[in-house]
Amino acid sequence: MESDSLHTDGNEIAGLLQEVFVAEVTAAGRVCQSCGLDSQIGAHRLYKGAGLVLRCPGCGDLAAVVAVLPDRNVISLRGTWSLARPSE
């Protein structure tokens, strides 16, 4: 099985990320802590399994791990994320 068939992209979790960050996140930038690539969250690869895992589109290192639980969402972020504040 090719790895391309195992993932979609970060745009698929846009609703969940907006719920958590109260902002549209897929256009936000992230600098990978491993390879230094600066790319939008929507360009990252999303893997689904026992949680949601976003990986750098350049090197494949972890960008975020999300666990959706009945009463909360648990998120681990890696790298440098640049999120704009929502307009008031």
Q: What digits encode the pLDDT tens for the residues 12-46?
A: 888 877 777 666 788 889 999 999 999 999 999 99
Question: Does the pLDDT value for residue 1 go beyond 60?
Answer: no
Give first-to-last CA distance, the chain, whole Å: 47
Q: Where are the domains of the chain?
A: 3-80
Q: Name the burial class of residue 21, with classes exposed (0-12), middle (13-18) and buried (19+) by CB atoms within 10 angstroms of its CB.
A: middle
What pTM was computed for the model?
0.73
Q: Could you report the per-residue pLDDT of 31-86, keeping only the tens digit for each? A: 999 999 999 999 999 999 989 999 999 999 999 999 999 999 899 999 999 877 66
